[in-house]
Structure 1
Amino acid sequence: MQCLPGKRNTYKFQFIEKFKKQYPINIMCEELEISRDTYYKWLKRKNIKNRYELNHEALKPLIQKYYDLSNGTAGYRQIKEQLEYHEGIIISYYMAFLIKCCIMKLPEARKKNKNKGKYTVTTKGDEKKYTYQNIAENMDINDIYKVISTDTTEVKLEKDGKQNVSFFIDAYSTEILVSCIGKSLNNDFIEYNLNLLNDSDYKLDNIILHSDRGGMYKSGIYNTKTAEMNLIPSMSAPYTCTHNPWIETLNGQFKDFIKKDNPKTLDELQIVLNKFVYYNNNIKIKNKLKTTPINYRCCHS
């Protein structure tokens, strides 16, 4: 099958195709500022898949295979690296992300807004301005006690089903301040996490607490509790994991860490989580700190 270049002006061509029985093609082409030759070329090749689409279809079952092998926990970065190591296929992270979106049937908005900047919508006439409440992104995080980053990651257990693992970490040192496992992201789980953070020996006054835009971080109990703790909330733009890199990196490291033990029950997951927290805080040497996170905080308190 011949591989043809990507489509251009698709919507214009589809419009002409739809209304060609009602209006002359030459007039519609003139109004839409495209040549008739271009339209007829599109007409001939509209059902022929281009090289990108053929590659997309060939890679889909392979990405599905490695996604299933991970029990539904592997991110697109892990899948991309596994394809390269096991199959000898090199693709971009973005292609792995798009194909995984198709496999998981994620909404089109997620794919389109993956790298979209922060925004809130303010309208002035026909003009729209987009700005998000993302304080942490514009900060110079050059020491501890500035930003706490939080997120939850999902783990599937063979016997106890899906579980949510929540972390609160210092964005500079990546010290894990709080770790918790919960079946549901309900108000009790949110309050329990924040109570654990409040009871820790970490200085919390006027610290920025950065998260994504998950439902638990927009809930009333979360906003009320963080205000009581004198925390300043900050949120990433939708579908932009790059705005919360500290916790996303840790989530990936945790997923890799539990592969060896392969916990099947909630108790086994809790044991592995405790091992991971101890390793991260007390054993692992951070290049930036030249020491462990716990030792760094002890020396800078």
Structure 2
Amino acid sequence: MSKKTFTEKEISLLSKNPYVRSVSEKGITYSNEFKKLFMNQSENGMFPREIFEASGFDIEVIGMSRIRNSARRWRKAFKQDGILGLEDTRLNNSGRPRERELTPEEKCSRLEAQVNLLKAENELLKKIRFAERGQQKEITLTAEHKFNLIQSVIVKYNLKRMVSHLCGIAGVSRSGYYNHYSEEAVEQRKHKDKKDEASRDIILKAYRFKRRKKGARQIKMTLEGQFKVVYNLKKIGRIMKKYDIVCPIRRANPYKRIMKASQEHKVVPNLLNREFKQGIPFKVLLTDITYLFYGKGKKAYLSTIKDSSTNEILAYQVSDQITLDIALNTLNKLKKNRKVRLAEGAFIHSDQGGHYTSPIYQKLVKKYKLGQSMSRRGNCWDNAPQESFFGHFKDEAYIRPCDTLDELKKEIKSYMTYYNHYRYQWDLKKMTPVEYRDHLIKAA
């Protein structure tokens, strides 16, 4: 048999030839008339290629290999049995019974089963679309979904001898359906579900550790750091998806506050140039201010100073007013932090907000022997790690339930302890900020 396969266009072209009974991707069935014509012209001295061309076949489409094989086979059959050897006797001698004509009742029953399956499939697709509303992606049913649909339709409408018909409509194999509901397959799924449930319970311990919700990578690092359990990241993601364990998703904030600085305010150059990871603790400090909504329509502000190399929060200040004092107090707390030992050439980087362009703030920065750097105007990427921290903080801290400013400050204090000492980070060699800071100091 030739290895050449036919395209849909070639199949359509060959089907139009009157000497072709049927054609598929892998082969052609010629009519008995053409075989007899071929033998007559072959005995008169014509070559196989000439006979095929004269009969309207495209040689390039069929291929000479297939032509030679057909000629050899027909000559052998003609030599053994004469004209009778050229006839296709497969239909007459086939052991398969011919398909009988269905009765009107059977036709009606099949159509009813088909309608019920389509109804069930449509209902399931609606549920999936409702659950995944807003996601721009094509929704398709898996084979397992289709097997369950077929089973539900058969049970609901008490159908008999409809498995093959429904599998054909759904586009799944009959053997696959029976294999899905075999005792061995059912037992395997039960065993897998038990193992997944055990894994789920372990993952939930890390997910709820310190009352902070986490994503898959955070869970992996927490399992290794706190529970000495090593799970593959893909397995964690699969278990979370299977049992609907949802991690916080940070969304871009469309609102940006623009502050106008007076002529007395001064913008300084961008010394950082996004070189955030310099491998030296207490050298590159990042600062910014964000708003916090809590309670019933209450608003507060959080100012932080972050070590760019270790991601550790070195100082922070919470206030219900966004005055200059919030930035000054944060800087004063940094100075009072005994664990902070500024490296040579240390500087603090911020955006061009009015707090940081203020002469009073810049004077205090110089007093503490710090250099100063600022992001380019309107470019949040120049201070990306600080913005990233605020995003994670708002996802993971319980800000909304706080009713008073004191409760808010208590929650923020708890989160800062968790963040610095217990929140493992993928880019810090799976260490916490404090662990990574100690690691850099020892390696220096």
The equivalent position to 1:87 in structure 2, one of 109, 123, 133, is 133
SS at 2:408's partner residue? helix
| Contact 1:155 1:163 survives alignment (8 Å) | yes
Cα distance in 1 between the residues matched to 2:399 and 2:333: 28
Cα distance in 2 between the residues matched to 1:232 and 1:190: 16
Cα distance in 1 between the residues matched to 2:334 and 2:132: 41
The equivalent position to 1:296 in structure 2, one of 428, 433, 436, is 436
SS at 1:247's partner residue? helix
Query: What residue in structure 2 maps to residue 271 of structure 1?
Result: 410
| Contact 2:276 2:308 survives alignment (8 Å) | no
Cα distance in 2 between the residues matched to 1:283 and 1:170: 17
SS at 1:300's partner residue? helix
Cα distance in 2 between the residues matched to 1:196 and 1:90: 47
Alignment coverage as a number of residue pairs: 187
Alpha-carbon RMSD across the aligned residues, in angstroms, is 3.0
Instruction: Structure 1: state its 5+ residue gaps.
Output: 1-84, 108-130
| Contact 2:274 2:383 survives alignment (8 Å) | no
Distance 1:133 1:281, change over 3 A: same
1:186 Cα deviation after fit: 2.3
The equivalent position to 1:134 in structure 2, one of 258, 261, 270, is 270
Q: Are 1:214 and 2:353 an aligned pair?
A: yes
Distance 1:261 1:97, change over 3 A: closer
| Contact 1:213 1:235 survives alignment (8 Å) | yes
Q: Which amino acid aligns with 1:186?
A: T
| Contact 2:295 2:401 survives alignment (8 Å) | no
Query: What residue in structure 1 maps to residue 340 of structure 2?
Result: 202
| Contact 1:165 1:181 survives alignment (8 Å) | yes
Distance 1:267 1:158, change over 3 A: same
Q: Which amino acid aligns with 2:341?
A: K
| Contact 1:160 1:264 survives alignment (8 Å) | no
Q: Which amino acid aligns with 2:412?
A: L
| Contact 1:146 1:208 survives alignment (8 Å) | yes
Query: What residue in structure 2 maps to residue 281 of structure 1?
Result: 420
* Deviations 1:150-171 (CA, angstroms, capped at 9, x unpaired): 1111012235822111111101
1:285 Cα deviation after fit: 1.4
Identity of aligned residues (%): 28
1:260 Cα deviation after fit: 7.3
Task: Give the number of the structure whose alpha-carbon radius of gyration is greater.
Answer: 2
| Contact 1:132 1:237 survives alignment (8 Å) | no
Cα distance in 1 between the residues matched to 2:437 and 2:252: 37
Query: What residue in structure 2 maps to residue 157 of structure 1?
Result: 294
TM-score by length of 2: 0.38
* Deviations 1:212-247 (CA, angstroms, capped at 9, x unpaired): 111111112210010011111111112211110110
TM-score by length of 1: 0.55
* Deviations 1:267-289 (CA, angstroms, capped at 9, x unpaired): 22112211211111100112232
1:145 Cα deviation after fit: 2.6
1:255 Cα deviation after fit: 0.7
Query: What residue in structure 2 maps to residue 76 of structure 1?
Result: none
| The structure with more strand, counted as a fraction of residues | 1
